[in-house]
């Protein structure tokens, strides 16, 4: 009996390294809101499910929802940098010092739609043309649709923006709203609903798909569908952590990252924007206003001034604007070639 037990013990010692090796590598993904959000459903879930399915027994991504690691949106890239999390969603506009070049993606009136903007954003990051991303491996990059204005006060025209205090997403949007006569305040999106409810601000800029994500649609009923600039968002991974993974694990992550994921994400958001817009129009308690021709022309003049002002700030900005327009021309030519 003792001999048999010794043999079993010896066998366990031999097998234990193999058993340990079978444990998948765990990766932590920090996410500041819930699994019901459109950002998770469209931008994160397809990637996580695909990697966990194909990488079973090799790699496993665990998502920490609702700010379980940190709810502070301006800290998300730091979570990745210091190893608190391996991956996180970063909104570049909240950290202009870290991602100064990403402001080119926020310019109003520049892109045809969110799909074009997202493709350009992805390509520029992958080509190493945007500052701030070299320490991260890019999983997904997308740009929201041009943000519209949603207020508790009536907005029938550009003139009605005069004096309204509006939550904004970044410095460029701040400049745009100031030129349109509003009083902009930069507030993270997950704090916006409370600010409106408490009367600290009148409204907020968000695309339709994000209107009900954080409760903003609950506290606003006037929707002015002027398309301002979009918000660039990226799902990033610590590059050193990525490079430390076994080659098969890296290959799986690469397979489900990049431009194909970005295109899928922006297409899903585009469909959701249209769905929410139709819901708003069908609700008799809401007022949905599209800018008149004269207001569109006036706003485009403002947008052009904002673009030129940004481009003149430094030579790098002018160069970035040229790079963006080059990529846009390539995409437009490719679209014409498919027709």
Q: What is the mean pLDDT of the chain?
A: 92
- The answer on 152 and 139 residing in a single domain is no
- HSE, side-chain direction, 13 A CA sphere, residue 51: 27
Reply yes or no on whether the pLDDT at 16 is more than 70. no
pLDDT tier for residue 14 given thresholds of 50, 70 and 90:
very low
Reply yes or no on whether the pLDDT at 45 is more than 70. yes
pLDDT per position as a tens digit, 182-225: 999 998 888 999 999 999 999 999 999 999 988 999 999 999 99
Q: Name, in order, each residue with C-beta under 8 angstroms of 1's C-beta and a sequence gap of 6 or more.
A: none
DSSP-derived secondary structure for 20-57? HHTSPEEEEEE-SS-TTSHHIIIIIHHHHHHHHHHTTT
- The answer on 133 and 48 residing in a single domain is yes
Q: Is residue 77 part of a domain?
A: yes
Q: Is residue 3 part of a domain?
A: no
Overall average pLDDT of the 279-301 stretch: 97
Predicted confidence at residue 7, as pLDDT, reads 54
Q: Name, in order, each residue with C-beta under 8 angstroms of 10's C-beta and a sequence gap of 6 or more.
A: none
DSSP-derived secondary structure for 14-29? HHHHHHHHTSPEEEEE
- The answer on 162 and 55 residing in a single domain is no
- The answer on 288 and 218 residing in a single domain is yes
Reply yes or no on whether the pLDDT at 330 is more than 70. yes
Last residue of a domain, one of 221, 250, 271: 271
Overall average pLDDT of the 297-326 stretch: 97
pLDDT tier for residue 5 given thresholds of 50, 70 and 90:
very low
Predicted confidence at residue 21, as pLDDT, reads 52
Reply yes or no on whether the pLDDT at 299 is more than 60. yes
How far apart CA 201 and CA 184 sit, in angstroms, is 9
- The answer on 239 and 180 residing in a single domain is no
Overall average pLDDT of the 23-52 stretch: 96
Stronger pLDDT, 120 or 213, i.e. the higher one: 120
- The answer on 29 and 97 residing in a single domain is yes
Overall average pLDDT of the 284-292 stretch: 97
Predicted confidence at residue 20, as pLDDT, reads 46
Predicted confidence at residue 231, as pLDDT, reads 92
Predicted confidence at residue 3, as pLDDT, reads 47
Q: In this structure, what DSSP letter does residue 113 have? A: S
Phi, psi of 182 (to 5 degrees): -85, 170
How far apart CA 295 and CA 224 sit, in angstroms, is 11
The CB density around residue 62, as the number of other CB atoms within 10 Å, is 11
- The answer on 222 and 185 residing in a single domain is yes
pLDDT tier for residue 232 given thresholds of 50, 70 and 90:
very high
pLDDT tier for residue 29 given thresholds of 50, 70 and 90:
very high
- CATH number, domain of 205, equals 3.40.190.170
Return the percentage of the chain with pLDDT > 90, whole number. 85
Q: Is residue 63 part of a domain?
A: yes
Q: Is residue 9 part of a domain?
A: no
Predicted confidence at residue 11, as pLDDT, reads 47
Reply yes or no on whether the pLDDT at 301 is more than 90. yes
Q: Which domain holds residue 312?
A: 148-229+281-338
- The answer on 205 and 75 residing in a single domain is no
Phi, psi of 109 (to 5 degrees): 70, 20
Q: Could you give the residue ranges of the DSSP H alpha helices within the chain? A: 2-21, 38-39, 45-54, 76-81, 114-126, 171-179, 192-197, 239-244, 247-255, 259-282, 293-311, 315-338
Q: Is residue 300 part of a domain?
A: yes
- The answer on 216 and 155 residing in a single domain is yes
- The answer on 171 and 65 residing in a single domain is no
The CB density around residue 254, as the number of other CB atoms within 10 Å, is 12
Question: 14-52 burial by CB neighbour count: b if 16+ within 10 A, else e?
Answer: eeeeeeeeeeebebbbbbbbeeebbbbebbbebbbebbb
Q: Is residue 5 part of a domain?
A: no
Q: Domain count of the chain? A: 2
pLDDT tier for residue 336 given thresholds of 50, 70 and 90:
confident
Beta-bridge partner residues of 27:
61
Q: Is residue 2 part of a domain?
A: no
Overall average pLDDT of the 63-84 stretch: 92
- The answer on 328 and 250 residing in a single domain is no
Report helix angle 114-126 to 315-338, nearest 10. Answer: 120
Q: Are 135 and 98 in contact (CB under 8 A)?
A: no
Q: Is residue 267 part of a domain?
A: yes
pLDDT tier for residue 2 given thresholds of 50, 70 and 90:
low
Reply yes or no on whether the pLDDT at 99 is more than 70. yes
- The answer on 265 and 160 residing in a single domain is no
């Amino acid at each position: 009996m003792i001999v048999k037990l010794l043999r079993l013990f010896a066998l366990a010692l031999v097998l234990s390294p193999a058993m340990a090796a079978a444990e998948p590598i765990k990766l932590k993904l920090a996410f500041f809101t819930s699994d019901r959000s459109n950002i998770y459903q469209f931008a994160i879930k397809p990637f996580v499910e695909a990697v966990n399915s194909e990488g079973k027994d090799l790699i496993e991504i665990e998502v920490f929802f609702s700010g379980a690691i940190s709810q502070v949106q301006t800290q998300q890239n730091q979570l990745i940098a210091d190893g608190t999390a391996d991956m996180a969603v970063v909104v570049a506009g909240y950290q202009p010092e870290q991602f100064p070049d990403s402001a080119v993606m926020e310019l109003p009136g520049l892109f045809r739609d969110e799909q074009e903007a997202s493709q350009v954003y992805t390509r520029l990051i992958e080509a190493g043309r945007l500052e701030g991303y070299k320490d991260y491996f890019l999983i997904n990059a997308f740009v929201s649709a041009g943000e519209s204005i949603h207020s508790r006060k009536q907005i029938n025209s550009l003139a009605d923006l005069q004096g309204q205090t509006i939550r904004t997403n970044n410095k460029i949007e701040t400049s745009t709203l100031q030129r349109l006569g509003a009083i902009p305040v930069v507030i993270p999106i997950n704090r916006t609903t409370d600010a409106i409810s408490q009367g600290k601000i009148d409204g907020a800029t968000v695309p339709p798909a994000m209107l009900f994500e954080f409760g903003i649609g609950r506290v606003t009923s006037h929707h002015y569908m002027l398309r301002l600039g979009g918000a660039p968002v990226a799902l990033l991974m610590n590059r050193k952590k990525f490079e430390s993974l076994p080659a098969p694990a890296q290959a799986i992550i690469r397979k489900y990252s990049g431009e194909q994921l970005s295109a899928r994400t922006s297409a899903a958001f585009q469909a959701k924007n249209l769905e929410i817009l139709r819901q708003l129009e069908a609700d008799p308690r809401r007022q949905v206003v599209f800018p008149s021709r004269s207001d569109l022309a006036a706003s485009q003049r403002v947008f052009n001034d904002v673009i030129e002002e940004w481009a003149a700030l430094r030579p790098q900005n002018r160069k970035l604007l040229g790079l963006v327009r080059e990529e846009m021309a390539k995409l437009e030519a490719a679209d014409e070639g498919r027709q």
